[in-house]
Amino acid sequence: MSEHYHIPLQQFIDYLRFEKRYSAHTILAYQTDLEQFFAYLKSQYDGINILEINTPMIKSWLAEIKGDDISSRSIKRKISSLKSFFKFHLKLGHIKVSPVATIIAPKISKRLPSFVEERDMNTLLNTLDFEDSWEGKTERLVLLTFYHTGIRLSELINLPIQQIDFHYNQIKVLGKGNKERIIPITSELVQSLQEYMSERIMIPSEFNTLFVTEKGKTLSRSRVYKLVKLNIGKVSTIHKKSPHVLRHTFATHLMNNGAELNAVKELLGHSSLAATQVYTHNSIEKLKDAYKKAHPKA
């Protein structure tokens, strides 16, 4: 990437990292989108600088990537990355108008979050056999922690040992935007954590994270994705099988068993209630199902 692409991009990335305090995963997503856009500009308009970027250029790039059969969700995210980037430089006075201002992101139909049924989660955690090895114990505890706490993948991977409080039976989680929240933990999870940690101290590691591999390294995102997908596939036929599905499962099961929406919001670490309200739809679907099965006139 040439100099006049690199400088404004790096400024923006530093802003996301140090001022907005976004996670490394979110920053990488922004950076990837923007680098892809700049690579397109360089191939089409060699030598262009930030002041010369206009709306037709952006539209032509979006038209090209649409041709690559990219989903509406991905297109929307790329437009969002561009909007944030140009808004930042507009604020600094580097440009006079944002070339993305008039571009409208595609509408995305809201889908209900996928989740694993309660009976299937019970089968997964209480009936399936896990290997009696460090890898097997880590695998089961990862699944148990996701389901019992609803934490995000990045939060689980980076969870420090000292954030587990056995005196009050809770964990302290550092979420998006460095927002801290406290999640109560069940006696079942407490016992499993204590058993795991009694062996964890025997593994030489330079990391202070709870979860480590047999070689003392932190767990990779891909490794956790793989183990979650494999194990959900053993008990459920749902299409999506990811760590985020276990977060949805945690929230949906709470709602289905009478938890208040505000409490679920706090446990998930959502900044607004709107993000949590999607789980009420799953509860309503369950009520409709119960109605159809039980009402004589249904």
State residue 180 phi and psi, 5-degree precision. -95, 140
pLDDT value, residue 6: 43
Which domain, by its residues, includes 195? Answer: 118-294
The stretches of 67-152 forming alpha helices (DSSP H) are 72-91, 118-126, 134-149
Segment 274-290, tens digit of pLDDT: 888 888 776 666 667 77
DSSP character string of 195-215:
HHHHHHTTS--S--BS-B-TT
Active site residue 247: yes
Tokens 């209480």 — which residue? Answer: 126
My answer on whether 124 and 190 are in the same domain is: yes
Catalytic residue among 5, 22, 30, 279: 279
On whether the CB atoms of residues 269 and 175 are closer than 8 A, the answer is: yes
My answer on whether 43 and 185 are in the same domain is: no
Domain presence at residue 160: yes
My answer on whether 59 and 126 are in the same domain is: no
156 has pLDDT over 70: yes
State how far the Cα of 23 lies from the Cα of 48, in Å rounded to an integer: 30
My answer on whether 142 and 55 are in the same domain is: no
My answer on whether 75 and 132 are in the same domain is: no
On whether the CB atoms of residues 152 and 224 are closer than 8 A, the answer is: no
My answer on whether 122 and 81 are in the same domain is: no
Report the domain count for the chain: 2
Residue 47: both structure tokens together: 């030598």
| 1-10, 175-184, 232-241: segment of lowest average pLDDT | 1-10
pLDDT value, residue 205: 95
Report the Cα–Cα distance between both ends of the chain, in Å, rounded. 63
Catalytic residue among 89, 176, 217, 281: 176
Catalytic residue among 77, 137, 244, 281: 244
Tokens 């694993």 — which residue? Answer: 116
195 has pLDDT over 90: yes
Nearest residue to 12 (alpha-carbon basis) of 3, 24, 20 = 20
Catalytic residue among 223, 241, 247, 265: 247
Which of 73, 91, 109 represents a domain boundary (last residue)? Answer: 91
Share of the chain above pLDDT 90, in %: 70
Active site residue 244: yes
Segment 218-249, tens digit of pLDDT: 999 999 999 999 999 999 999 999 999 999 99
Active site residue 5: no
pLDDT value, residue 110: 64
Nearest residue to 223 (alpha-carbon basis) of 156, 129, 131 = 156
CATH number of the domain enclosing 31:
1.10.150
Catalytic residue among 78, 152, 200, 248: 152
Domain presence at residue 100: no
Segment 64-114, tens digit of pLDDT: 898 777 888 899 999 999 999 999 999 999 999 999 999 998 876 666 778
pLDDT value, residue 68: 73
